Chain A
Amino acid sequence: AQSVAQPEDQVNVAEGNPLTVKCTYSVSGNPYLFWYVQYPNRGLQFLLKYITGDNLVKGSYGFEAEFNKSQTSFHLKKPSALVSDSALYFCAVRPPNGNNRKLIWGLGTSLAVNP
Chain B
Amino acid sequence: DADVTQTPRNRITKTGKRIMLECSQTKGHDRMYWYRQDPGLGLQLIYYSFDVKDINKGEISDGYSVSRQAQAKFSLSLESAIPNQTALYFCATSDTSGGGSYNEQFFGPGTRLTVL
Contacts and interface: CB of A to CB of B under 8 A. Distances in A.
Contacts, number: 50
Interface residues of B, number: 23
Interface in B64-116: 90, 92, 101-102, 104-110
Contacts of A41: 109-110
Contact of A44 (B40, B56, B90, B102): B90
Contact of B104 (A34, A102, A108): A34
A94 B4 contact: no
Contact of B101 (A44, A94, A106): A94
Interface residues of A, number: 21
Interface of B: 1, 4, 31, 40-43, 45, 48, 50, 56, 58, 90, 92, 101-102, 104-110
